[in-house]
Amino acid sequence: MTQREVTDEQNTTWTCVQAYAGLDKEASEKATELAENDNGTVPVVCTPSGGAQSVRPGLPKNWFEKLSDNELLSEIAAAQEKRQD
């Protein structure tokens, strides 16, 4: 399973994985295609190292390669705010 880690300003390390990442490549690609939203985003789960709760931001399909660390942290922060609303 491929995962990506980023650390925010509070020194919380977030580990993010795309849903279905544990499947083999072909099954993962098919599941991702089926799960893709109308706006072109896919479900991602980001789990913190500290006491914060996991968040599930919808990210662009190519988030793993194309999203910068700062962009990923911004998406995590937005998902946290959305959850609190």
Segment 6-63, tens digit of pLDDT: 999 999 999 999 866 554 556 555 555 555 555 678 889 999 997 779 999 989 988 9
Q: What's the pLDDT score for residue 51?
A: 72
The CA distances from residue 70 to 1, 7, 43, 52, 63, in Å, are: 23, 9, 19, 19, 12
pLDDT at 82 over 60: yes
Q: What's the pLDDT score for residue 11?
A: 92
Domain ranges in the chain are 4-84
Q: What's the pLDDT score for residue 41?
A: 86
